[in-house]
Every structure is written in C-alpha cells, then in structure tokens.
Structure 1
C-alpha cells in the first residue's frame, strides 16, 4: 500500500520531527495535538522549511479522520507519538467512531509491549490493525531518518513496510534500518531492550568520562579528543554513536557562561530524572523483564539503579552530610603510563558495551521463546545499525557474524568462541581500571558489574554453594 497521507496524533519533539520528515518524502501529514505550544511550533517549522502545503493541523479527531478519507476507500493510516500509558487508549476512544476495517494505527511511542498487545486484541474485532513500533534515535533521527522496530500482524506490516523503508535510516550500504520483526508486541519489546542496552552503554561511558576528568585530571577538550580517537580509529569503538556525541559534548561551549571556558558540562547537574518520575519507562521495564525471565543482566540493572539514585539529589546530599563528605572521588595516584591506562579504559568500556548488548539480547531471546515471536536476530541488529542511540558499527558487525555463523546459543552468547576471545582479551584491562577507580573512590557501577558478570558467568565454583548448605 502506498502511503500518501497520514494522521499524526502527538507532535512533540518526536512527532513534530517525524511530520517534517514525512513532508520531505511528499507524504501529507494531517495532525492533531491538544498542546497549543506543540501546534504552533510545528506550524512555524513547516513555514520555515517550506512544507505548509504538506502539514495540516486539525482541531479534533473527526476533522482529522475526514481529511484522511478518500474516494477509493483506501485504509486510513495513523501514527501515535504520545506519552506511554493512558494517552493511547484515550486516542483510540476518540478515533473509534471514525475507524473502519483495514485502518492501521502505528504506535511510535515508547509504550509497554503488553499494553500494545492489549490494544491489538481490542481493535482486532473491528478489523483495525495496531502496530507497536519502536522509533529510535531521538528527535534528530526522527527528523532525518530513525531506526524503526515494528511488530504486528503480517497483513499490517506488509501494508506499511514500503512506507517504513522509505522513511527509515539507511546504513552504510543503503539498507533501511527497519524489519518486519514479528507479531504482537515484539516491536515495542525490541525498542525497550534497545533502551536498556543504551542505559548500560551510556553509564559505562559516563564512568569513563569521570575517570578521565576526576581520576586523571584531563580537561574537557582532552577527553573529547580521546573519545574522538576511539570513535574514528579502526577498533572496538568504531562508529559508536554515544562515543561520537560524547566527544562533541566535551567541546560544547556556552558563551553566556564563562565558567571553565564556557563548557556546558561544568554546569550540568548529576541528576537523571526520567526513570524516577515515570516520564520514560523503558529502562525500568527492561530491568524488570530481565528479573521476570530469570536472565542475568547486571550491567543494565546496575546502570538503571545508578540513574534512579542520581534522580534524588536531596537524598544523596543528606547522606553526604551524615558521613561527613568523606567518600569523595579523587585523582588516581601512581599512574606512570597515562596513555596505556587510557587504552585499558577503552578496553574496559568496550567490554561493558559488549556485555550490555549480550545481556539485552539474552532477555530478548528468552522473551521471543516465551511469546513465540520467532525473532530473527540478524534483523534486530539491522534495525540497530543506523539512526539509533546504540549504533556501534564494530559491535554490530561482530554480533552479526556470530549470529550468521550458526555457532551460537542465543541464550548464552558468552559461550561463543568469537565473543569469548574478545572478552578474554579485555579482562586484564577491565580489572585494572575497576581496581584503580575503586582505590580513588570513583563511581564505576556499570564497569564493575560487567567485570563481575564475566567472572561469575565463566566460573563453576561460585560461593552460592555455601548458602545452599
């Protein structure tokens, strides 16, 4: 089915950028958003980009649906880009009187996979298709081409797949970063796991930044140069999105603030709130799924817990006062070869990144078995090749080669000889970095969790034997 027009519900940072992307592909976006601010911003952006003839505001759902009707009675196509939870149910209620058999709703929100499956069952008797569709990469990718993970009925996926291929990010070989993943809520589940992996990777990278900043006393520009070198050289950090933007963040200046040369990093609070205030639930859900499915995921879980602790700055300040401020990160002493230590740090971050990927894929594999989604993990990796936060060319190449070899246990990637070799090579570096960081009271929950995960996963002599006596 050729999609020539679409009904967009929700035009915040993601929905607004997607609307502009559709317009550039000559797809008319009819949109509704209860926020006057969102409406005015998108209308202004449409004027600035010359797309006013392709982006049309509607004041209610009836007007929106009437605009999508056509003479040949083709199915109406909608996309949601709204907060998770009840907003989607409210939108379905509002659209309900105007929906016909064959109409398709693509939920591009960060929604819980079980809620997606509940809505699919609700709409199926009317013949309305509901696709749970993760969209990755933030508003920048939404504007230029995101990573897309759709799940739903074969009929619905087949109908919209040409459209999704058209708007999706393209990898270095021009292949779209989208795949027909499977039935039910698997699309939103894959996006949830993407975000869990993202939290593991992001925390490990934050820890590396602090090791260089506080532990080694490097300037922000010097740290930016290290990240840039990691990202550009032909090594394990090649083509890694987080490392690449990490270099940019270190060098970002704000002329209005003279502190530390105007470096924006010098005035950002150590406070991550979206996991604790429930405005973004995917990290919490990913950690919960690992526990529910009995899949060890310590890098992801430790990272999530660290972010939650970060959110309550007042509580941390009270504890700091109670202990007299005696546990303070400080410079690492006794580093005689700083260049070698930074190389070890790169290996430690790489190992933690790889652990995050494997832990997420293990959860995904167990869920696929439980729900009979029959996920193709080469397809999952293709979705993550470009346009998403966990884009990492070297890592995805490595993991794809493992899956294509057929020599892997999807529930135990650590036992694959290729991956075992990679981790065996990084182990001394991870151990060195974690030990030196702990000596200096630096915060390394993700790096240390990765180290322990590797150690106990490779051991058949665990101290749990004592607890079982």
Structure 2
C-alpha cells in the first residue's frame, strides 16, 4: 500500500511525486493522460512508485487513512478530478487540493466533501518547479483533526527551516490554506513590482551596466533582507542572451502577465476594508504593462516623462527604500490575513504563516523569523508595525523611502508600489485623516449622515446647495 497518491502530473505534480519518493514515501500516481503516469513510473523504476490507469485502483492502492493530493489546474479541472476520486474514498480519508484554488471554490468543495464524509484540505503550495522537487512550503487548512492524520507525511515533503522545523504547519479552519496562499501570491506581486521599480531606477535613470546592477542587488540581499526574490533578480541580471550576448532580461518584452491571484488579493483587501494599496498598485502596474500599444502611442504623441533630477540618491537610499517598501507589503498581507480570519472565522495562525514562509516559499525572507517570534509572543497584536522590533526596521528606512519616492516623482519614473507603501505608512500614523470632508460631502448630496467626534449617534445637516437650489415644497 502506498503512503500518498498524487493525481495530476503537470510540472508541480510530477516534481512533488519525485520529492515524495526521494524522502522515502511510497507513491501512487494518476494522470488524465495515462501514458505520462506510466512513463514517469518507468523512469523511476521502483515498485514503491506506481502508476495507475483507473481512479478506483489508484485510490484503493493507498493505505488508510488515505492521503490523496490533487495537483491539477484550479477551476473546472479540479472539480473534475474531485468528482473522479470522491466515489472511491471512505470516511477518514483526506483529500488535499494543492492547486491555486480561489478560497470560495475551496469552501464549496469542502461542503461537498463533508456530505460524503470525506475530510477536505485546501493546501497552498509555494516554491515553484524547483521547490516542489527539493522541498516546498506547504499551507494546509481545513479540518484540524484530518491534518493531524496526514501531518507526518506532509512534513516529510516540506522544506526545512534553518532550525530544522518543517515549512508546513496548520494554517486554520475551512479555506484558510488557500486564502493564505492567495495573500502569499499578492505579496509576491508587490515584491516583484518593487524590484522592477528598483531595477528601473538603476538601469534607466542611473545608467548602471549589467555587472553593476547585479552587484547592487547582491549587496541589497543581506541580513534580515536576504530573500529568494532579491537573489533571483541578481542571478537574472547575470544571464546573457545566447543570440546577442547582451543581458537576456534586456531582450524580454516589457509585458508582465499573471494568473489573477494578485487581483484576488487586492479585491479581498477592498472587500474587507483593510489597507491593500500595494497589492492594487502592483496589479495596476501589470495592467499598464499590457497596454503596450497605447504606451508607445502616448510616448510618441506626448513625449516620454523623463526629467533631469537635481541629484541622484545614494545607493543606500535606493536600498533602504526597497527594504522599507517590501516590509510594508508584508505588513499589509498579514493585516489582511488577520481581518479575513476574523471575518470568515478561519482562525488563521499568523505565527504559523510566518514560520512556513521562511523556507521553500517564493516569498521567503529572513525578517519573517523576527515577525514569527513577535507573533508567537503577542498573537493579538493587530498589525505588524505595532511590534517595536518590526517598526524599528521601517523607522530606520522611512527617510530613504520618502527620498526615493520624491526623487522618482521629480524624475518622471513611475514607482507606484513604492509610493503606495509610503502612502500607507503615512496614513496609518495619522491621528486624523481628511475623511471628515468626504463624509460631509456625502451627507450634503446624498443625505448619508455622519458621526460626530464629540457624541454618539448619526447626524444629518441641511447643507446649502452650491448652485442655490432648494428642494421644492409639495404642491397643495
């Protein structure tokens, strides 16, 4: 009998299956195109790695309690796989969806599985193709008791933190696992946009050559800021194009695609009324990149926006601005997770999130260890910037972020994610915002009422009309 069944052998499914075999688990695999499953099993050449042609035999080959991991494209393909295996599962078995499902789909499938007395776990997976093969970050949510039944097998699959702990932990109830992965991807969108803006400044304004660019990012990738993504950019900048011998990145069309998870995160922040300006900025920036024909037409008709800056900021200003903005993006992500946990009753363990993201995950960065330590010590703290240690990271770099943002504006270099991070930082610390004017206007034109600062209740005022109009009296 096999320890784990993996349904779906795309890039992630295949590499997770091989990872499971590497760590000593006995693996059953199934794929809609059966030849792929049998070819993979033949390549492994071990009876503890077996392919199956039919869902019934595939499910029956798994030891109880069964762990069956769906690794298919989110959406209709997941529904089809779900329905294909459900009739053969039994009470006590655990069906895990490892795709990038929208959390609302996870809620729906969880309810369907509950009717069949099957435990359903929505699990975010991060690490990409290489991470799946060498150890990913796993974010399971759902039935807590079901998670305990499969925890040891998931821990074997997961990456390891420097202290030896696995990059897997229980995220929370219901659709918490997929919600956490959605926010992970939203942070990833912002991080990449911030890196693109930092690259733009060095390459197109500072005029750095490729070697200088790589060195700048290498120096920024140290201490608490050591991260997968900064390191990745550093390596990208060193790769030559085999056809032109120029940096390959310079030959890539400036159009950024996406699969929608960044948009989901921005939408959730708007829906729940929590600060998510950096998520929206990153999504809008990708949208603008896809308007390439329009951009070229506007550049031709209106001229490019470059203005000669008074002076170039120091390297340290560039670096510290990037670091501060990155931390603010993570803070927005954790604030969104907290609000969603309260609103949807997910009971998300934020310290576990910070733990899991420290290894294997695309968004891994060393300061998450500091954040985890603070969250375990004071889990009720409502925002990461309220931890003195985390705030100190930002405070020391606030002036750099402000200087870089102002320089970008004067230069004509779009830096929407840096500007959004700064606006959020400033807005969060204002005791009084000008929203009172907005509420007065809403009451004036729509009688929406307002609240006062000196007493409870809702109030309405008959404001003078700017055009001198009066509400006509009813005719007698």
> Is 1:317–2:297 an aligned residue pair?
no
Give 1:272's aligned residue: 256
Give 1:308's aligned residue: 287
Alignment of 1:334-373 (within 5 A): 334-335=310-311, 341-373=314-346
Contact 1:402 / 1:408 at 8 angstroms: preserved in 2? no
Once the 2 structures are TM-superposed, how far is the Cα of residue 408 of structure 1 from its aligned partner? Answer: 6.3
In structure 2, do the counterparts of structure 1 residues 60 and 262 end up closer, same or farther at CA, with 3 Å as the change threshold? farther
> Is 1:417–2:388 an aligned residue pair?
yes
Alignment of 1:125-274 (within 5 A): 125-232=115-222, 234=223, 236-237=224-225, 239-255=226-242, 257-258=243-244, 261-274=245-258
3-state DSSP of counterpart to 1:251: coil
Would you say how many aligned residue pairs link Structure 1 and Structure 2? 440
User: What is the distance in 2 between the residues matched to 1:240 and 1:402?
Assistant: 20
Give 2:54's aligned residue: 60
User: What is the distance in 1 between the residues matched to 2:208 and 2:299?
Assistant: 28
User: What is the distance in 2 between the residues matched to 1:172 and 1:252?
Assistant: 29
Contact 1:9 / 1:31 at 8 angstroms: preserved in 2? yes
Give 1:277's aligned residue: none
User: What is the distance in 1 between the residues matched to 2:33 and 2:438?
Assistant: 56
In structure 2, do the counterparts of structure 1 residues 199 and 332 end up closer, same or farther at CA, with 3 Å as the change threshold? farther
User: What is the distance in 2 between the residues matched to 1:246 and 1:319?
Assistant: 25
Q: Answer with 129-138 or 58-67: which moved more.
A: 58-67
Bigger CA radius of gyration: 2
What per-residue deviation string (whole Å, max 9, x for no partner) do you get for residues 78-116 of structure 1?
111111112222112211331211221111111112211
3-state DSSP of counterpart to 1:262: coil
User: What is the distance in 1 between the residues matched to 2:409 and 2:90?
Assistant: 61
Once the 2 structures are TM-superposed, how far is the Cα of residue 13 of structure 1 from its aligned partner? Answer: 1.1
In structure 2, do the counterparts of structure 1 residues 466 and 370 end up closer, same or farther at CA, with 3 Å as the change threshold? closer
TM-score, normalized by length of structure 2? Answer: 0.86
TM-score, normalized by length of structure 1? Answer: 0.88
What per-residue deviation string (whole Å, max 9, x for no partner) do you get for residues 167-201 of structure 1?
11101111101112222111111111111111111
What per-residue deviation string (whole Å, max 9, x for no partner) do you get for residues 39-88 of structure 1?
58745xx62xx4554433333323322433x6xxx233211111111222
> Is 1:299–2:278 an aligned residue pair?
yes
User: What is the distance in 2 between the residues matched to 1:308 and 1:54?
Assistant: 47
What per-residue deviation string (whole Å, max 9, x for no partner) do you get for residues 260-291 of structure 1?
x33210111111222xxxxx332222111111
In structure 2, do the counterparts of structure 1 residues 114 and 221 end up closer, same or farther at CA, with 3 Å as the change threshold? same
Once the 2 structures are TM-superposed, how far is the Cα of residue 149 of structure 1 from its aligned partner? Answer: 0.7
User: What is the distance in 2 between the residues matched to 1:407 and 1:64?
Assistant: 42
Give 1:379's aligned residue: 352
User: What is the distance in 2 between the residues matched to 1:335 and 1:36?
Assistant: 62
Which sections of structure 2, spanning at least 5 residues, go unmatched? Answer: 441-476
User: What is the distance in 2 between the residues matched to 1:145 and 1:187?
Assistant: 18
Q: Answer with 53-62 or 449-458: which moved more.
A: 53-62
Contact 1:215 / 1:332 at 8 angstroms: preserved in 2? no
What per-residue deviation string (whole Å, max 9, x for no partner) do you get for residues 183-241 of structure 1?
21111111111111111111111110111000100012211111112213x3x42x211
3-state DSSP of counterpart to 1:324: helix
Contact 2:195 / 2:230 at 8 angstroms: preserved in 1? yes
Give 2:374's aligned residue: 402
Give 2:261's aligned residue: 282
In structure 2, do the counterparts of structure 1 residues 36 and 434 end up closer, same or farther at CA, with 3 Å as the change threshold? farther
RMSD value, Cα: 2.3
Contact 2:266 / 2:279 at 8 angstroms: preserved in 1? yes
In structure 2, do the counterparts of structure 1 residues 324 and 180 end up closer, same or farther at CA, with 3 Å as the change threshold? same
